Amino acid sequence: DFNVSLANVGKDELGELARSIQKLADDLERLQKERNEFLASIAHELSTPLTYLIGYSKVAMRENLNENDRNHYLEIITEESNRMKELVKNLLELAKMDQNTFSVSKEYFSARLFLDNICKRVAPSFDMNNIKLILVCEEDFEIYADSLRLEQIMLNLLDNALKYSNKNTKVTVEAMKQEERTVINVIDEGIGIPSDDLELIFEKLYRVEKSRSRTFGGSGIGLAVVKELVEAHGGTIKVKSILGEGSTFTITI
């Protein structure tokens, strides 16, 4: 009987209970707010490429279009579809991690072949933005990792490097073996990250400054997924950055 048992509870304890309930209510409200913001930013992220897809497919279907223009529109359509696919993949990984149904399956593969393929995949978007993509892997070696997950890590880091770079700059992917570990650097000459934000960018939904987020688009989940994927490999991710000069993300697995 709630009334009877409450009668035996002292004033201090009641006060404490009231505070705990208030804290729970506040937490719940904050979580609900975060959830709404999350859904809103995901919906926004998905609707932007969809707008392009619809617009450019209409244009690409025009009968009097020359071959070159049609190819250009088809490239944009492919690019935007890939973006959507990567975002949905990130969301699925996050959901799996939250439910603890996540596991990595490691295998050996050639660093050079793997990174070469990744660079080829993203090359069209780099070309379109006049950003040079350079792969440095002087000696080939075997990476021991979950190749699909490492691919996702690299695509997220390269997508950011591209998104936050200015035209006519370069992005370098550098890979090497250090003792038994694989070290990969993704180096850009882009806008950089303020030092106060460096610790926070790996948190889910954290984005540096609302104003620059509006310019660049993005959901704020890419780096959170990257960090979880790297850590699921028993690895680490570090970032060095100078505002206005560029950023270097280093993963070691």
Task: In whole angstroms, give the CA distance from residue 22 to residue 40.
Answer: 27
Please report how close the Cβ of residue 87 comes to ligand ADP at its closest, in angstroms. 9
Q: Which is nearer to ligand ADP, 154 or 221 (CB)?
A: 221
Q: Which is nearer to ligand ADP, 140 or 197 (CB)?
A: 197
Cα 65 to Cα 73: distance, rounded to the nearest angstrom = 10
Residue closer to ligand ADP (CB basis): 201 or 230: 201
Which residue's CB is nearer to ligand ADP, number 87 or number 115?
87
CB of 222 to ligand ADP, least distance (A): 3
15/194 with CB nearer ligand ADP: 194
Question: Cα separation of 143 and 252, whole Å?
Answer: 11
Shortest distance (Å) from residue 116 CB to ligand ADP: 21
Query: Would you say 15 or 217 has its CB closer to ligand ADP?
Result: 217
Minimum CB separation from ligand ADP for residue 126, in Å?
A: 14
For the CB of residue 181, give the shortest distance to ligand ADP in the complex, in Å: 23
- Least distance (Å) from ligand ADP to the CB of residue 108? 29
Q: Shortest Cβ distance from residue 220 to ligand ADP (Å)?
A: 4
- CA angle 166/150/88 to nearest 5° reads 75
Strands 132-136, 170-178: parallel, antiparallel or unpaired by DSSP? parallel
Distance of CA 58 to CAs 73, 147, 186, Å? 10, 36, 37
Instruction: Note the residues at the interface with ligand ADP (CB under 6 A).
Output: 160-161, 164, 188, 190-193, 201, 206-208, 213, 218-224, 247
- The residue (of 190 and 235) whose beta carbon lies closer to ligand ADP is 190
